Chains A and B, each alone.
Chain A
Amino acid sequence: MNQNDLTSIPLYGLMAEFDSAEELIAAARLTTKAGYKITDAYAPFPIEDLNDALDLPASRIPIVMLCGAIIGAFLGYGMQYYATVISYPMNIGGRALPSWPGLIPVTIEFTILAAVCCGIFSLFIVTKLPRVYHPVFNHPDFRRASQDGFFLCIRAKDKRFDYVATERFLRDLDPISVMAVEK
C-alpha cells in the first residue's frame, strides 16, 4: 500500500472517465507507455485496440480448451472402447470388436462438450467471477461502464503509483473526471 498523506482511507486506485472509446484507447496507450502496469480499462463493449493499448497478452483459454478437447476425446473413445470391447463384447456377424468408425460420432460430441465446458469454467477462474461486489462499483458513475462510459483505472498497488503524480498524469490525459476509488 502506497503511503500518502492526502487520504487515510484505503485506496483501490484512481479512475479517469473519458468521453469516447478513441480517447480511452489513446489514454490507455499513454498510461502503458508511462510504465504503469497494474491498470484496467472499462468499456461497454470489447475493443480490440484496447488490448493492444493496455499491452494485454492474448488469452490462453483456447489452450485450456484444446486440452479439454483432447481429454474429452480420449474419455469418450475410451468409454466406448471399454464398453464394446472389454465390458460387454458382442459378436455381430464376426465383425472386428473395436469397430472404431462407429465410435467416432460419440467421440466428437464428447470432444466438443468437454472443450466448451473447459472454456466456460476457465473463464470463471480467469475473470475471478462471480463476484457481485467490487471496489470499482464505488465510483459514483460506474454504472455507465455498461452503457456508454469509458473508464481507465490505475491501481494503487502499482509500483509507480503516487497519488499526486498519478492524478496529475491522469488529468493531463484530458478526461471528463478523475476520481479516487475506495477499497
Chain B
Amino acid sequence: MIDRVISPEETYDSVNERISAIVFKRQRSWGWLIGFALAFLLLSVLVGSLFWLFFRGVGIWGINIPVAWGFAIINYVWWIEIAQGGTFISAVLLLFHQQWRTSVNRFTEAVTLFALACAGLFPVLHLGRPQYAFYLMPYPNTLGLWPQFISPLVWDFFAVVTYGSVSILFWYMGLVPDLATLRDRTDRKYLRRLYSIMSFGWRNSARHWNHYETTYKVIAALAAPLVISVHSIVGLDFAYTIVPGWHSTIFPPFFVVGAIFSGFAMVLTLVIPVRAIYRLHNVITDNHLRNMAKMLLAMGMFVLFGHFSELFMAWFSGDIYDQYHATHEALGTYAPVFWITFVCNIVLIQLLWFKYVRHSPVILFLVAGAVNVGMWTERYLNVVGSLHRDYLPSSWAIYHGSFWDWSTFIGSMGLFLTLLFLFVRFLPLVSISEVRRLVYERDIE
C-alpha cells in the first residue's frame, strides 16, 4: 500500500538530500529568478492599485448601488476558498490516516497561508475607510461602542483571525523538525545559527516527539471544524440578507464544499508544475495526483448538487424574485459568466471520471486550472448576479469591474505568487520528517 505514496528507492538520506537540496543548492536558478521577478512585478501592480485606492477611495472601482459588493468580495471569497484546500489536506486527511497527505501537506499549508493573506486584504480594502478596520475588534474604547456580535460580518472577522492564527501555528509547528534538519545539514556558521534559533533548538528527543505528536493531532482535530465554521460563516454573510438568490439555507454547506473544491483545484494547479520543476516524482507520486483528482471530482459533484438545490428551491418556493434570478442568471446580461462557470465547474470535471485523464498530469493541470477560473466566475455570479436585480426594478443596474478592480485582483495574485516563490526557495517544501517516517513505515511493512 505504502509503495504507492513513496517510491521504493527512497531512503532516509535520499529524502533528506532531495528536499533540503532545494533550499541549499540551486543558488542561481534562472527559472526561479524570472518567476520571482514576474510575481514581484504583479505585486507592485497591487501596491500601485492600493496607493491609488487609498488616495481616491473606493469610487475608482465599478461598485455603486445596488451592486455595492464588487470584486473585493468576489476576490475575498475566491481566495479564502482556495485556502481551504491546505487545511483540508493537512488536518482532515491526517485524522483519517491518509498517508498520501504527508508529502503534500507542507506545500498546501503554505498555499493556505498565502491565500489567506490575499483574502484578508480585500474586506479591509472594501471598507472604504480602511483606517477604521480595527473597529471590528472588541476593545475598550472611549466611545463605549462594541461590534455588533449578531452580524455575520463580525463573525467573519473572528473566523478569519482565528483561521489565520491557527494556520500559522500549525504550519510552523510542522516546520520545526525540518528546520532542525536544515540546521544539521549545513556547515555555514550563520545559517546554522539561524536555523538553530528558528527550530527553537529542537533535538528530536523521543520525550519531545511524544508531546509534539499528540499536540499536532489535537490541533488538526480542532482545525477541521474550524475551516468548516469559517466557510459556513462566509456563506452566512450572503444567506443572512434577503437578497434574492442569497437568502438560502443551502449556502453554508454549499460554500464549504465549494471551498474544498477550489482548494483542491489550486493545489493541483500548483503541485503539478512544482513537482516537475524540482523533480519530486518519488515523493509526490502520480498516485497523489490521482487521489486529489478523485477528491476534486467528488467535491465537484457536491457543488453540482448545490446548484441543483438552488434551482429546485427557486422553483419550489414559488417566489417570483428567486425564479427570475435563477432564469436571468443563465439568460440575462451575465449569461457568458454563467456559461463559463457551467463549462469549467460542471462539464469539464466530468472528464475526471476517465482513468486516462486522472493519470495524465497535463490534462489534470488544465482541468484544475479551469476549475480555478470557474470558481471565480461562480463567485462573480453569486455576488453580482444577485445584487444587480433586486426587488425594485427601478434600482436595477449593470455592473462591470473597472481597470482598478482588475489591477487589484491581478495584483493580489502577485502577492500570492511572491510569497510562494520565497517559500519554495527558502523553506523545505515537503515535510522532511514526515517523509522519513513514511520511509520507516514502508520498510517495516
From A28, A106, A134, name the one whose CB has the most chain B CB atoms within 10 angstroms.
A106
* B206/A50 in contact, CB under 8 A: yes
* B149/A42 in contact, CB under 8 A: no
Sorted nearest first, the 3 A-B pairs with minimum C-beta distance are: A102-B150, A130-B200, A148-B12
B201 lies within 8 A of chain A by Cβ: yes
A87 lies within 8 A of chain B by Cβ: yes
From A21, A43, A127, name the one whose CB has the most chain B CB atoms within 10 angstroms.
A127
Are A62 and B214 CB-contacts (below 8 A) given A42-B205, A143-B184, A148-B16? yes
From B144, B181, B206, B433, name the one whose CB has the most chain A CB atoms within 10 angstroms.
B206
A176 lies within 8 A of chain B by Cβ: no
Task: Give, as a whole number of angstroms, the nearest-CB distance from B296 to chain A.
Answer: 27
A21, closest chain B residue (CB)? B440
CB neighbours (8 Å) of A116 from chain B are 165-166, 169-170, 219, 222
Q: Which residues of A contact B (CB under 8 A)?
A: 21-22, 28, 40-47, 50-51, 54, 56, 58-59, 61-62, 65, 79-80, 83-84, 87-88, 99, 102-103, 105-106, 108-110, 112-113, 115-117, 119-120, 122-124, 126-127, 129-134, 136-137, 142-148
B interface, over-half SS: helix
CB neighbours (8 Å) of A46 from chain B are 209-210, 212-213, 433, 437
A53, closest chain B residue (CB)? B206
Within 8 A of A (CB), among B339-367: none
Q: Which residues of B contact A (CB under 8 A)?
A: 11-13, 16, 138, 144-147, 149-150, 152, 154-155, 158-159, 161-162, 165-166, 169-170, 173, 177, 180-181, 183-185, 196-197, 200-215, 218-219, 222, 225-226, 229, 233, 236, 433-434, 436-437, 440, 444
CB neighbours (8 Å) of A51 from chain B are 206, 210
- A79-B162 Cα distance, complex, nearest whole Å: 16
Option from A22, A28, A45 in Cβ contact (under 8 Å) with B436: A45
* A146/B184 in contact, CB under 8 A: yes
CB neighbours (8 Å) of B218 from chain A are 61-62, 65, 115, 119
* A61/B206 in contact, CB under 8 A: no
* B155/A41 in contact, CB under 8 A: no
* A99/B205 in contact, CB under 8 A: no
- A47-B204 Cα distance, complex, nearest whole Å: 11
- A70-B258 Cα distance, complex, nearest whole Å: 31
* B233/A105 in contact, CB under 8 A: yes
A sample of 12 more A-B contacts (CB under 8 A), given A59-B215, A127-B212, is A44-B12, A45-B209, A54-B207, A61-B214, A88-B145, A105-B155, A106-B155, A112-B162, A112-B222, A112-B229, A126-B211, A136-B203
B180, closest chain A residue (CB)? A146
Task: Give, as a whole number of angstroms, the nearest-CB distance from B282 to chain A.
Answer: 17
Option from A87, A142, A145 in Cβ contact (under 8 Å) with B144: A87
B17, closest chain A residue (CB)? A147
- A133-B192 Cα distance, complex, nearest whole Å: 12
CB neighbours (8 Å) of B138 from chain A are 79, 83
- A137-B205 Cα distance, complex, nearest whole Å: 12
Task: Give, as a whole number of angstroms, the nearest-CB distance from A60 to chain B.
Answer: 9
* B211/A59 in contact, CB under 8 A: yes
